[in-house]
Amino acid sequence: MTETKIIAEKELQENMPTGWQYDEKSMSIKRDFEFLNFSNAWGFMTQVAMRAEGMNHHPEWSNTYNKVSISLTTHEQKAVTNRDIDLASFINSLVD
């Protein structure tokens, strides 16, 4: 398993995956997604869930019909880490 490294806020701003925003209050990165319908949203969530399970790194998320909101943070570190960036980049590869 890759060592977990906290990402400094300046480095995070310079290397933020496309579409993600840093939320200082929750010390997380967030992104909202919209799909054609519920089935597409659910399929996307399934792909993310499989990768997250393999990483043992799980998102906080919500789904309403065709919309999915995701928040990533490393709770043990109480910060955004390379694990969050890696998962965000994978998520982007599914939609961008």
Whole-angstrom Cα distance, residue 47 to residue 4? 23
Q: Report CA 93 to chain centroid distance, whole Å.
A: 12
Annotated active-site residue in 3, 24, 76, 96:
76
Q: Is 58 a catalytic residue?
A: yes
Q: Which of 9, 23, 32, 53 is catalytic?
A: 53
Catalytic annotation present for 76: yes
Gap between the Cα atoms of 20 and 17, Å rounded? 6
**Which of the following is catalytic: 11, 32, 60, 75?**
75
**Is there a catalytic annotation at residue 53?**
yes
The answer to whether 11 is a known catalytic residue is: no
Q: Which residues are catalytic?
A: 53, 57-58, 75-76, 84
